[in-house]
Amino acid sequence: MKPRAFFLLAIGATWLAWLWPVAFGWTIWESPAVWFLYAGGACVPVAALLLAWKEGQLPSLLERLFDPRLIPARWWLVTLLLMPMTNLISGTLVAMLGGENNALLASSPVQMSFAQLLGFAAFILLLGPLPEEIGWRGYALPALLNRHTALSATLVLGAMWGLWHVPLFFMPGYYEAFGGAPDPALFFGNILIISFFYTWLFLHTKGSILAAVLFHFSVNFSGELIALPDQGEWIKTTILACAVIAIVAYRPDAWTSKPAG
């Protein structure tokens, strides 16, 4: 597996597609800009599938994407509930500290009908979690783990994943559709921190891409459902950072041992 080839292909092709709406200042959710947005997002899974096919790894990748049996029962709980619970705890702490306490009620998804909420959930799933995780955790992470420690692989992948997102900050209207652009330092710090949770799941679910997709969905959807103020986002980041330190400290050998061979 070739992580460098994947990063060059996935990030390069994505940026090439996203260059057009950025350069021309097109509103991203209107045609033709939105088609460039979707085309760029498709470059990550396409790059992964092409390289996996070329290397004879496509059947394994598809099995990890579709087989729920790879995920042990307790890891389903981590996959689906970790981020919603973290958001709820963060919102509660904000309220206890005298900040905004209507994070859930103020979020726009709560105002939707059930049918609209399902449609919004499907949109969230198809926009980011499903296509992205075929590439990031489906191909890139195992490719890196073949050559590096889990700690190094996570840091490299987190950096590349963050780099891939950069053009979105320059697209007119993109983040406005999700409540406004996040603080860049907080956003990229979160990406690096949360990458450890993806690796943690990967190591305990036999490399399940399905677990990564569902975890990514829980991150994005719960983030939209529970609209934390800036104070809450910093609290959440602190909680996650402390959890990462605890996870790595509990089994340091799992994170620092070099791959065999």
At 155-202, the pLDDT tens digits run 999 999 999 999 999 999 998 877 778 889 999 999 999 999 999 999
Let me know how long the chain is: 261
Under DSSP, the state recorded for 140 is I
pLDDT confidence tier of residue 108, bands split at 50, 70 and 90: low
pLDDT for 65-75, tens place per residue? Answer: 999 999 999 99
Q: Is 24 exposed, middle or buried (0-12, 13-18, 19+ CB in 10 A)?
A: exposed
Query: Highest mean pLDDT: which of 94-108, 112-126, 195-209?
Result: 195-209
- Name the band, by pLDDT with cuts 50, 70 and 90, for residue 252: very high
The mean per-residue pLDDT over the stretch 46-57 comes to 98
pLDDT of 227 reads: 81
Residues 144-153 have pLDDT tens digits of: 999 999 999 9
- For residue 200, the surrounding DSSP H or E stretch is helix 184-204
Cα–Cα distance list, 243 to 75, 77, 193 (Å): 16, 16, 10
Answer with the residue of higher pLDDT: 83 or 183. 83
Give yes or no for a cis peptide into 32 (omega within 30° of 0).
Answer: yes
Query: By the 8 A CB rule, do 136 and 166 touch?
Result: no
Categorize the per-residue pLDDT at 229 as very low, low, confident or very high, splitting at 50, 70 and 90.
confident
Place of tokens 């909680």: 239
Which of 175, 164, 178, 170 is CA-nearest to residue 223? 178
Cα dihedral across residues 148, 254, 164, 118: positive or negative: positive
- Alpha-carbon distance of 9 to 44, in angstroms, equals 8
The string of pLDDT tens digits covering residues 85-94 is 999 999 889 8
